[in-house]
Structure formats: structure tokens, C-alpha cells
Structure 1
Amino acid sequence: MHYHNFGRTGRPVSNIGFGAWQIGGSWGSVSEEDGRAALNAALDAGINFIDTADVYGDGRSEKIIADVLSGRGGEKPFVATKAGRRLDPHTVEGYNRENLEGFIDRSLKNLKMERLDLVQLHCPPTEAFYRPEVFEALEALKAKGKIANYGVSVEKVEEALKAIEYPGVTSVQIIYNIFRQRPASLFLPEAKRKNVAVIVRVPLASGLLSGKITRDTRFDKEDHRNFNRSGEAFDVGETFAGVPFEIALDAVEEVRKHVPGGETMAAFALRWILMNEAVTVAIPGARNAEQAKGNARASDLPVIGDDVMEAMAEIYRNRIARHVHQRW
């Protein structure tokens, strides 16, 4: 397992983390037993970065994390959570200090922590990034000792670039994978220049880049890959990275041709993300221990050659870009 400093914090984190959305909900049925086993397997493999949110299973994910960590000794991993999506309606006016402090207090209780390592605004409306008072509220909560650091989770490159204009923003979480390559052209170099940590979510395009999903795959009614195909519940870019399903499956077969023998497509796709030096940590999810172990192995895979990297760029340009590039 390889480690990078988490931006300006100087705290070393594994370059493969554990995305805890799956153990919370919206991915079909994942038992608490399997969720605990997946997280323990990830930690045993050297992963020391966990990403969750207060809305993942309405706190279920945070509580599972707290229970697992309370039963383990040694140094505690870096735990990042998110706040804001509990707002109903989800409007920019809701991103005020009172509401944010309430969300943070709830996460402190769920995670059994005295201070949160990192709180991220959870894909707020774009207008929030143009309101300094939102970030002033986070700064005040940091000064109060309830959070150690704050960052943002974004849908759009525009939002990411605006967020890192605020000097207190420690990290940006963004979608970046073989099917969503736009962040590499401007945002990632700028984040690296400013020493802002980059957390990559949806690294496997909701499982498409595992190579295991086919046209015959059926998803549980509680799985967002069933109920959010067209963005019915939240931004469609969170489901299959926003790529139309049939088009994505054809592109997956092109990617498959370049996966080295003996490697899984999932590990290859994660290693592709880590080829960009601006990436601090990628956070694939896992439904069980075996998936968690497989994700962790990606950290130690060999460098991908220039010819294969160019092949991935060509697949994106020719098959994917017109569906996603200008949208996010």
C-alpha cells in the first residue's frame, strides 16, 4: 500500500481508500455483517482513509464505521464525512452555520468522535460556492473545535475550481475515472499547485469499470443503478458516471482489451486513476471483504504504459466525451 500526504494537513493516507456509501444504503441489500467485514478487510490491507456521509443509510454507514473502529486497536484511520444533503428542500439557503453545526453534531455522535477529521459539503447547489458566508461558517466550526478540516464534494469542475479559491478548503472530492476524464485538463493540475487534497469518488463508474456488469444484470429496487438511471433521485452523474448504459457497456469492452493478463479490470481502472499525481486517494466501495481486498491491491500494481494510457484517452474521446465532457 502506498501513502500520500493529505494536502496541507501533512497526514499520510493510503492512495486507495474505503468508500462507505455501499455499506450505508442505495446499493441494494448489504448486511451490517458484510459491511463490517468489508471495512475490516480494507483496514487489514493497510487502507487508512474512510469516506462516508450522514445520509448514507441515514447514519447507518457512520455507525458501522464507529463500531468497527471501536473494536480495533492502533492508530485511528482518517475518517471523512459529508453534510448538507439532509436539507429538505436542498437549497443554498440551508447551508448556514446553524444547520451545518446540527449536521456535524449528529455525525460526531454517530462516529463517536470528539472532533471530525474532515467534513465536506455534500454536493451543494452551485451557488453555494459563490457565497463566502458558507465557508466562513465552516471556518467558525473549525475554530470551535468540532472539525479539524473542511472540504467539498462537487459535481462539476467549475465548482471544484471555485472551491479551491477559498484558502481554508483542504480537499475536493470529485468524480474522475476512465469515463470522466475532464478534471485532468485543468482542475487536477491546479489542485496540485495549491496542495489541495483530491478524493476521487465513483472510480469504477458504479461498477461498470469492474467489467462484471452486462446487459442482463438486474439491480435491486433499492439500488441507485436501478432508480437513478435518469437522475430521478440525485445527479445522474453519480450513477454510471452519467454515461448512457448501453454506450458504456460497449466502451467497457474496448477497455477490457487493454487490461493486462492476471489483473482485474477494477484494479486496472483504479490504477489508471492513480497515474495522475494530483490524486491523493481514490475511494471505491465494497460490498464484502473480497471486494475490499481486491480494491486495496490496486495500490501496488505496476505503472501503466504510455501506449495504454493513450488508448484510454482515445476510448474517452471517441465513445464517451460527447455524453459527459461539457456537462460536468
Structure 2
Amino acid sequence: MPARTLGRSGVPVTALGFGAAAIAGLYEEVGDDDAAATVEAAWDAGVRYFDTAPHYGIGRSERRLGAALRTRNRDSYTLSTKVGRVLDPYDGGGDDLAHGFAVPATHRRRWDFSADGVRRSLEDSLTRLGTDRVDLVLLHDPDEHEEQVFREAYPALEELRSQGMVRAIGAGMNQSRMLTRFLTDTDVDAVLCAGRYTLLEQGALETLLPAAVAAGRSVIVGGVFNSGLLADPAPGATYDYAPASGEVLRRAERLREATEAHGVPLRRAALRFPFGHPAVASVLVGARSADQVRDAVAQYRGHLPGALWDGLRARGLLGGGVPAPGGYGA
């Protein structure tokens, strides 16, 4: 599978990356064996970039991913995790479904974008992952903590990078504005933009992606299915982690009609779409089973006729200036 380098960091990422939220029980329980088999299928398909976070299953994603990769040569893959939520032990019982994960509520999340919080979060992640290093560390969802992040958290990451503790740094969010600020006002290597550059919506094309190109930095795209809507636009589908509105659902249904008119599954067009922009280094795909991994890889490698994009533009579903990818993935 082809790989690109994140900015000027020297850190490689494969075109498809593995997003490890789902194996932590996102929305529904996933067993240990199924989680391990899912990571194994990604490896067998040539995926060598794996992304996780303390938030995912309150540590379960990191533990499972670390266990699944433990026998692999550490220099043969790229690993990223996130900082900003510190996990404190909790013995009150219950589950974590209020945060979207079908796991026991063994810990509570606490926002902490202080310099000490960044360091503690990374140390805890290394313990859960069972490794001595990660390659990329991302500030996770700092939407409500903007000034503290730029004043305390980002400088702490820059220091960790200068000390060689991490190889690349950045931020991961579901918005474009603050990510653009990271690209223009700091020396991040990459940003992870979830849900804002998809076949359904291209808000990141206004400022974020041009800023990345101008700065020579990379964008990792997550949420290409907009929380599942573009994988299967049916009543009850989710968009931005909540039930999709009627208007959004109808637009997704129109996209499906347009892609299927060219013999292309909607999920293939959605998965491949971000690769049309030169700033995009990798697309993260979340999967909870080996079959889902294999399907994602098949869609990435499948054919996309050029007439597909012309058809979407003719139907008013894609702007004339929006770049489109070529016919085949590698």
C-alpha cells in the first residue's frame, strides 16, 4: 500500500490508516478476539498506520491495539495517539455508553491541556500500549480550550518533539477553523480533520487544505462516512454521532443514487474522495471486524470512472472546483 510522509517529519503513513475507536466497543461491544482479528486483517492488507486515543473506550482501544501489534517490528509501522483527556480511576460502576462506548466505566475522563497533563497523558498511553514510543501525538478535540492549548499544551508537544520523545505532533478535531490556526500559527507536522472533508461536505477545502499545502504540512482525514451515513444512508443512520436529519439523509440518498448510476458503491466513492486533494496524506478507516477491514481495502482499490465525478457535478452534488481522485487506488 502506498505511503506518504507527514509534512517534513519523516514519519510515513499508509494511504489507508486504521482508526482504532471501533475495536474499543464504539456503540456496541466488540470481543477481544474480534478486535485482534480486525487489527490482523488490517496488517495483512498492508496497513501500517494505526491511530488510537485514551478517549476510545476509556483506554481499551490503546490496550487492545498495543496487544495486537506487540509481536510486530516496532520500526515497521507508525502509531499515533492523542492527549487532552486524562483518565482517572473510577469505581462507581455502570458503563460508558453515555460517551458512546460499550465498556465498563472503570475510569472517568478529565480534560487537561496543561503541560503536565500532556506529559502524564502520553506516559499513561505508552503504558497501555505497551511500547516505549509513539510516532505522532495529536491534541484531541481542544475546541473549548483554545487559548490554553496554544499557551501550554502545544509548547509541551513541541518540547517532546525537540527531545526526540515523539517524531511528529499535531491536532485532531471535527472542525476546520482551529486546525487552520494550528497550520498557520504553529509548527505542527500534521492535523487530523474528521468529518469536514467528505463526499457529503467539503468545509475544509475553504481554508484548512490550502493552508496545509502552503505550509508544506499534511492532513489526515477521518470520518469519511460522516459517522456511518455515507456507508449506508437509511432511516436511523447517524451523522456527526447523532441521528441524521431528514435533509442530510436525503442528500446522502441522492449521492448513493448518483454513484450507483455509474456502478460504484457509495462507500467506495466516499472512501476514495479525499485522495483527490494533494494535502491529504492518509484516510483513517474505523472497523470493528476483519470483514469490514477487507471491504474497506477492496473499496479503496476498486475502480472509479471519471464520469462519476462529472455526474455528481451535473446533479449539483459536488462543486466544480472540488478536486477528485483518479480511477484506481493502489
Structure 1 residue 20 displacement after superposition: 0.7
- Share of identical aligned residues, percent? 29
Identify the residue that residue 182 of structure 2 maps to in structure 1. Answer: 163
Secondary structure class of the residue paired with 2:293: helix
Identify the residue that residue 142 of structure 1 maps to in structure 2. Answer: 161
Q: Does 2:277 correspond to 1:249? A: no
- Say whether the 8 Å CA contact 1:82–1:119 is kept in structure 2: yes
Identify the residue that residue 125 of structure 2 maps to in structure 1. Answer: 107
Distance 1:142 1:216 in 2: 43
Structure 1 residue 3 displacement after superposition: 2.1
Structure 1 residue 238 displacement after superposition: 3.6
Return 5+ residue gaps in structure 2 as ranges: 88-107, 320-330
Identify the residue that residue 214 of structure 1 maps to in structure 2. Answer: 234
Q: Which residue of 122, 131, 142 maps to 2:150? A: 131
Q: When the two structures are superposed, what TM-score results if normalisation uses the length of structure 2?
A: 0.80
Q: Which has the higher strand share?
A: 2
Secondary structure class of the residue paired with 1:62: helix
Closer, same or farther: CA 308–186 of 1 in aligned 2, 3 Å: farther
Aligned residues: CA RMSD: 2.6
> Residues 119-155 of structure 1: CA distance to partner in whole angstroms, max 9, x if unpaired?
1010112523773333211122223443222110123
Identify the residue that residue 7 of structure 1 maps to in structure 2. Answer: 7
Distance 1:90 1:67 in 2: 25
Return 5+ residue gaps in structure 1 as ranges: 218-224, 226-236, 318-328
* Structure of greater relative contact order (alpha carbons < 8 Å, 6+ residues apart): 1
Structure 1 window deviating more from structure 2 (296-305 vs 160-169): it is: 296-305
Secondary structure class of the residue paired with 1:81: strand
Distance 2:13 2:161 in 1: 21
Q: Does 2:186 correspond to 1:152? A: no
Secondary structure class of the residue paired with 1:10: coil
- Say whether the 8 Å CA contact 1:15–1:299 is kept in structure 2: no
Identify the residue that residue 44 of structure 2 maps to in structure 1. Answer: 44
Aligned residues: 293
Question: Structure 2 counterpart of 1:40, which letter?
Answer: E
- Say whether the 8 Å CA contact 2:11–2:167 is kept in structure 1: no
- Say whether the 8 Å CA contact 1:172–1:199 is kept in structure 2: yes
Secondary structure class of the residue paired with 2:292: helix
Secondary structure class of the residue paired with 1:200: strand
Distance 2:109 2:36 in 1: 32
Distance 1:5 1:303 in 2: 25
